[in-house]
Structure 1
Amino acid sequence: MKIALSTLLAITALFSSTTAEVNTPFTVNTPFTVNKNPVDVTLFVMSRCPDAIKCEGVFSRVFQAENLPPVDPLLSYIGSIDRTSVSTSDVHTNPASGFRNSTTTTTTTTVTCKHGPLECAGNTQQLCFKKYFSDHSVWVRFVVTMNSLQSRRIGEPEYAREVGEKIVGGTVDKETESLLDKVDECSRGQEGFELLVDSVQHTIDHGVGTSCTVFIDNKKRCVVDGGVWRECPEGSSVADFVRSIKEAALQLTTTLMKSCLFRRKSW
């Protein structure tokens, strides 16, 4: 789903300075414990985009696959950023030193989301939840539950809180309650806006404009556009993505082993 800038709505903020068993033909016996570095898996998405919802559902199953190497999942949000700087000058009179001119520059940063302010809010809520519940087995469930319960409510503060409480489950202790409160504060404040700006800038830096675009080990792997998997030469099933992650982990291990051998030869 491409961003059409002419249809975008903006929100503005001001800066003050199913566990799944997957059988795969992957047969290499190299133990993945050799390499403790996780494989980067990035989904470039928009929180209210149907293609993102489809993509996130598939990868929630990928991340639960048996014998999956360590992964570092990331949602990177698609949008646009506009920064406008305005400078104002003031002239002050001092009897001792005469005239003194001072200039103040104020920068207004605007993040624009295709599906409107609610999508920007939904993006921010998901980023904030990940910040305070950083275990991906938790925050991925938060995102997928948002999608599956009432996706039309994504972006509503009350809905985000309802989903958060559902994910942590049962009676919430004081520590967890405090973390949920921090998520709420983050989502409606400067902290969350800065997370959103950084995420959208990350997407821009990678040249991605289609939700959902999948990167594995920092390489473009697949795209969901208009409900259809495209540009997926290695397949688009759960098993296909698991295989790609295992291959990336093996490559990381091989690179690490070569580096260690090189160092030993240098001694």
Structure 2
Amino acid sequence: MDVKTPLLPRTERPIPMRRRHRFRRFHAAAFVFVLGLFWLGVNWQCTDPTHHHNHEATAKVPMEVHIMSKCPDARDCLQKLVLPAMQNVSDKVDFRLSFIGKATEEDDGVQCKHGQTECLGNILELCAAELYPNPKLYLGFTMCMERDYPNIPKKELVQDCALEHGLDFDQLNYCVSQDDGAFAMGMLRDSVTRSADLNVTTSCTVRLDSKVRCIVDDGEFVKCPGGSRPEDLVRDIKKLFDVAKGWSE
């Protein structure tokens, strides 16, 4: 495979999604797709019908969302909870988007539940956050991708979402292929390792102020103390922000 060739596949047949199924490795050696299939012992949950971190004001409330890019629960979580809340309190939130997968030590690769296309989708969304650290930009791009998650990472979808949200497609593509894929793979490994270290295995998991705030699993909002509506999340963020602001003054 010529490493200079753009790495966004034109067509990919979506990987069937099941609660437990086989996994594929994705590694940085020219982003060659490994065809071997593997079973994982961890119960990664996602039912089918960021390397970059904002370190600005210390008073902002940490919020982290852990997803898999080809997961319908990630779409529902972002669309029904995270995005509406962020539209109201983005100035009060130190936001981070992280991904769920498994780093493989034997080849410095990553296993993604829904196959190599999900690994590439995760990388594209991480690259968007790296290049455009304003959550309003990269979250908009991510939500656009998630709405059509079965087609991630088709080139046409990525181009359309980049255009819609003012992202440069060529820069995204360069981020994916930089250093023969090693740069992007490093971001993905760091992201999935972080999720694993935090014991997060369900897409989508929302963590607020270092605590699990809500989980979307099999289309249901569960483990959401204080409510699962955007206004509930906004209320909690404002309370935490006021407390943090008081401490920093």
Q: Which residue identity does 2:243 align to in structure 1? A: Q
What is the CA–CA distance in structure 2 between the aligned matches of 1:233 and 1:124, rounded to whole Å? 31
Gap regions ≥5 residues in structure 2: 1-16, 31-56
* Kept after mapping to 1: 8 A contact 2:158/2:169: no
From 232, 238, 245, the counterpart of 2:237: 245
Higher radius of gyration, 1 or 2? 1
Runs of 4+ in 1 over 6 A off after TM superposition: none
The equivalent of 2:26 in structure 1 is: 11
From 171, 186, 210, the counterpart of 1:182: 171
Q: Give deviations 1:116-163, integer Å, cap 9, x for gaps.
A: 111101000000011111111111110111122x32211224421221
What is the CA–CA distance in structure 2 between the aligned matches of 1:164 and 1:205, rounded to whole Å? 31
C-alpha deviation, 1:233, in angstroms: 1.8
What is the CA–CA distance in structure 2 between the aligned matches of 1:229 and 1:129, rounded to whole Å? 27
- Residue 218 (structure 1) aligned with residue 241 (structure 2): no
Aligned 1:1-267 pairs, distance under 5 A: 4=20, 7-14=22-29, 37-57=59-79, 58-65=81-88, 69-84=91-106, 108-148=107-147, 150-168=148-166, 179-188=168-177, 189-257=181-249
Question: Are the structure 2 counterparts of residues 68 and 146 from structure 1 closer, same or farther at C-alpha, using a change threshold of 3 Å?
Answer: closer
What is the CA–CA distance in structure 2 between the aligned matches of 1:13 and 1:228, rounded to whole Å? 35
C-alpha deviation, 1:39, in angstroms: 1.2
Q: Which residue identity does 2:64 align to in structure 1? A: T
TM-score, reference length from structure 2:
0.75
TM-score, reference length from structure 1:
0.70
Q: Percent identity?
A: 31
Gap regions ≥5 residues in structure 1: 16-34, 85-107, 169-175, 258-267
Question: Are the structure 2 counterparts of residues 216 and 139 from structure 1 closer, same or farther at C-alpha, using a change threshold of 3 Å?
Answer: same
The equivalent of 1:24 in structure 2 is: none
The equivalent of 2:11 in structure 1 is: none
Question: Are the structure 2 counterparts of residues 181 and 68 from structure 1 closer, same or farther at C-alpha, using a change threshold of 3 Å?
Answer: closer
